[in-house]
Amino acid sequence: QVQLAESGGGLVQPGGSLKLSCATSQSVIRFYPMGWYRQAPGKQRVLVAGTSTGGNVNYVDSVRGRFTVSRDNAKGTVDLQMNNLKPEDTAVYYCNAKIGLVDYWGKGTLVTVSS
């Protein structure tokens, strides 16, 4: 059973920072691509940042230069450091693992950017 546990969401003012963390098992993090998605109210879930087992990373244009994704195989974590947050970053953020043709999801963590 694939388990993905997110933490680190919360309320932050515009311009602030938050760090999200996703914990999973060694059998997942060592062998499969992982990433972070977000879903804003009334919108579809979209990719924010992805990371491959080989260390490649990719970002959606709207967060490039502000967000940094990193994976630590030893700890079994994929982190998303979010800086200079904007109100439009408000969403539920989900950790994702792609195993073959199947997407696995965490329960999500809410990030609210508001003054």
Q: Is the pLDDT of residue 72 over 90?
A: yes
Kindly indicate the confidence band of residue 1, based on its pLDDT and cuts at 50, 70 and 90: confident
Give 3's Cβ-side CA count (13 Å radius).
7
∠ CA 23-26-27 to the nearest 5 degrees? 120
- In tens, the pLDDT along 79-100 reads 999 999 999 999 999 999 999 9
Q: What percent of the chain clears pLDDT 70, i.e. is strictly above it?
A: 100
Q: How far is CA 9 from CA 31, 41, 68, 109, in A?
A: 26, 16, 15, 5
- Position 55 scores a pLDDT of 86
Instruction: Say what percent of the chain tops pLDDT 90.
Output: 97
Q: Are 82 and 20 in contact (CB under 8 A)?
A: yes
User: pLDDT digits over 29-57, tens only?
Assistant: 999 999 999 999 999 999 999 999 998 99
Cα dihedral sign, 6-72-60-83: positive
